[in-house]
Structure 1
Amino acid sequence: AEASKTAAAAYIAALEAAAAGEGDLAALAAGILANKEYLTKKSVWIFGGDGWAYDIGYGGLDHVLASGKDVNVFVFDTEVYSNTGGQASKASNLGQVAQFAAAGKDVKKKSLAEIAMTYGYVYVAQIAMGANLNQTIKAITEAEAYPGPSLIIGYSPCEMHSIKGGMTNCQTEMKKAVDCGYWNLLRFNPEGTPGKKLVIDSKEPVEGEYQNFLMNEARYSRLTREFPERAGELFAENEQAAMDRWDHLQKLKDLYAAE
């Protein structure tokens, strides 16, 4: 974007000099100057929540990504329909209590990042600002620079999570989510360095911390009080799904590295 601005400034100066003269060239230069705002590369961003991106608006999101246009999409993933009362969505996770899932959601979360990666020409990243600020900035910078569609999914704790200590701890909660393997940091760049198209920025999950993370949020812990036996089963499934996802990402990384 900065290079575009610099080049545009040089073009405009040259055009202004030409327009100050006479004849057809001056008229042509004046015509271009009338639309000089189009000389600078536009940065186009779309912002939305997970309920829109994963669920009710997914068809539109998919259409935009598939278009191949140079547009950036940023999804704030709260894993629940936060703005409309806390209903479960396809972004909600196993065992999570929400409206329409009072006994805990019993199906896995949709993998929006992997779906987008299958196009092969969409830049994809998962970020969590509280876990790794540098990775967050790097992903946004890479998405902006990528000459095609990009999708950034940001882990976004919200009031519906009922984190112990409240939202003042949301940045710390992001770090806990990444450290235990609940949320994975990644960047998939179709134009990345050969052998490194997919970069996993998370470290291997810390053993023994996963269930502690779940119990730190009432959206999970309340299930232990209302349906204790079911809670144990769903939370075990939740953790296993997360560990399987981590292993799957390692295999994907190796697969893309072989290309």
Structure 2
Amino acid sequence: MKRELITIDGNEAVARVAHKLNEVIAIYPITPSTPMGELADAWSAAGKANLWGTVPLVVEMQAEGGAAGAVHGALQTGSLTTTFTASQGLLLMIPNMYKIAGELTSTVFHVASRSVAAQALSIFGDHSDVMAARSTGFALLASGSVQEAHDFALIAQAATLESRVPFLHFFEGFRVSHEINKIEALTDEDLRAMIDDELVRAHRARGLSPEHPFIRGTAQNPDVFFQARESVNPYYLACPEITQKAMDKFATLTGRHYHLFDYVGAPDAERVVIAMGSGAHTAAETARYLSAQGEKVGVVLVRLYRPFSAEALLQALPKTVKVIAALDRTKEPGAAGEPLYQDVVTAIGEAFMSGKAPFAQMPIVIGGRYGLSSKEFTPAMVKGLFDEMKKEQPKNHFTLGIYDDVTHTSIEYDPTFSIEDPDAVRAVFFGLGSDGTVGANKNSIKIIGEETDNYAQGYFVYDS
């Protein structure tokens, strides 16, 4: 099937799918997720129907906590429901997220992940908000490009309906949410093929109704709470396999193949970086370039971060790996290491303790931080990390992309290193607020992308 090539940003790519697959959308604006809610609201106001022919009800609440409460309530009626948020907005939703996950309720929250205000507020992208929600019980699915955000919005919906584990689908604020890129649009036929109406009916049947009384949301005492909390285990154990099944079905429809962990680079790599989101793509392109020159390097792209499948990670890693670097786009002050680093250390350590490790020897595992608040993350920085990993004792708990002259955590790199195709054309446009330049540039990119055979990519850097 020939699909339309369109040039849009990440927010619109996600909103297109979410509006088609839901009946209730509870919103509250917060940068950089606001356009998803605005688009959904505009489409419903114009009478645009979802996949089943009804116009989704879009309601703006008084705050993100109210939006999450409205989502929870709508889900309890059996409605297909979603929301869009970021940063402190996501943190305000956490109490309701525990309830939604604890009650095994299918939904997808779409998050344009953004810095949580610490020493200062920042509207730009990293993973600090998502990592604050990782204990809620939501599955965490990471996309790293506009095309992936479009695709994973659908894959997450298919997986949540079958697994009953709610999904948080996230992509970096601005770096993906506001980047304009040329993508292949999914059709209604693709959506229908991925969404099983029997599972939708099952979700509907779980809604509270006087026609079939059921008790939910009770209080439990010490005699039963622990046992009941553990009763969700089979659902979380099954979730990775269900997600992979949805990815495989998606591949048969579109030809785009995804896995829980995707490996890129030399098959006999000795130095491997593990990362998620858009930064993983930068690392992967760098690994392709370096491995083509004979370097034994590779990158693992994390797709499904929760539930974390240690088995799938070990299968993705080359058996020859000697040094692994886990990159986190967040900071947890005082922790023994950032979240992905700790998960990788645990997965590999437990594999060796159980005698199931596929490696000849225990690899060195280091971890570090990069890209906070959309700090640039370039192939030069990835090359610097791969060079650091050659050392007998590579630096652990490092920072990448800054010069840390206080605690000396930073890794040096050569900023002149580049992997860019010599035929690529780059242009920089400057604009002032309200002078029309941003809109004009967006239109220019769309004209290039949709009226020619060229691939156009536009990224807008805003000063707050």
Same fold (TM over 0.5): no
More helix by percentage: 1
More strand by percentage: 2
How high is the TM-score relative to the length of structure 2?
A: 0.19
How high is the TM-score relative to the length of structure 1?
A: 0.29
